Amino acid sequence: MKKIKLTIAGLSFTQTQTGAYVLILSEDDGDRRLPVVIGNNEAQAIAIQLEGLKPYRPLTHDLFLSLAAAYRIELTEINITRLEEGIFFSELVCKRKDAIVKIDARTSDAVALAIRFKCPIFVVEDVMKRAAVYIDSEGKLRPFTEQERDEEKKNDAGDIFEKFMRKHVKMDFPELEKLMKQAASEEDYEKASLIRDIIRAKKGEQTDLDISDYID
């Protein structure tokens, strides 16, 4: 599943929910922003760390960091994995020696921990597509337009097609014929016909498919 790396772009107060804040996460290689509504306590925990402040006594997330260090547990990354009814679901990916453990967490807590552990923040593409917003020319957040969403889908489809072509044009005829029969038996006729056209093009036969751009 494709993941997108995020960085914290900022925190802002929201007037739609009393005592709530919006955490803005920005994709590293793009213009999309992911707004996540979080509570006051979590916003404070994130802000304190971002501003380099040290509380008089350790906060809950600082205690987690100290406990993990004592037992040599590393937080390698956090992943925002799902969006259900407006709620983001996240997981902590922890490592101790050779063991990898994934722990369910609220996104606000996960981000607060990611800052302290200095580990990357990721979101799966499906969540980003559904919840992302743009920053317009006036610096305000706005949702994707239908045209932008359609364009995103076209780009994704184009990437999938190109990867498919580059992979399959390198295969020999027995491999391609086997895959074509398998696709037909699974009733994936679109895939079967595309592989058939690749076979014809590689043999120099007449076909509408041009494979020259996918041959290294």
125: number of Cβ within 10 Å: 14
pLDDT of residue 92: 97
DSSP per position, 82-111:
EEETTEEEEEEEEEETTEEEEEEEEHHHHH
pLDDT attached to residue 70: 94
Segment 86-92 shows an average pLDDT of: 93
Answer yes or no: are the C-beta atoms of 76 and 95 closer than 8 Å. Answer: yes
Phi, psi dihedral angles at 188 (to 5 degrees)? -95, 75
Whole-structure pTM value:
0.63
Give me the half-sphere count of Cα atoms (radius 13 Å) on the Cβ side of residue 193: 7
pLDDT in tens, 27-60: 988 778 898 988 888 888 898 888 888 777 888 9
At the fourth CATH level, which superfamily is domain 3-144? Bifunctional nuclease domain (3.10.690.10)
Residue span(s) of the chain under CATH 3.10.690.10 come to: 3-144
- Residue where the block lists tokens 């490592």: 95
What is the average pLDDT score of the chain? Answer: 81
pLDDT band at 16 (very low <50, low <70, confident <90, very high): low
As a whole number of angstroms, the distance between CA 215 and CA 150 comes to 29
Q: Mean pLDDT across the stretch 98-106?
A: 94
Give kind and range of the element (H or E) at residue 153. Answer: helix 146-168
For the cut 70, the answer to whether the pLDDT of residue 147 exceeds it is no
134: which 2 tokens? Answer: 């743009």
In the structure, what pLDDT confidence band is assigned to residue 165 with cuts at 50, 70 and 90? confident
148 pLDDT band (50/70/90 cuts)?
Answer: very low
Q: Please name the residue that has the structure tokens 């305000």.
A: 140
What pLDDT is attached to residue 194?
A: 80
Instruction: Please give the pLDDT value at position 11.
Output: 84
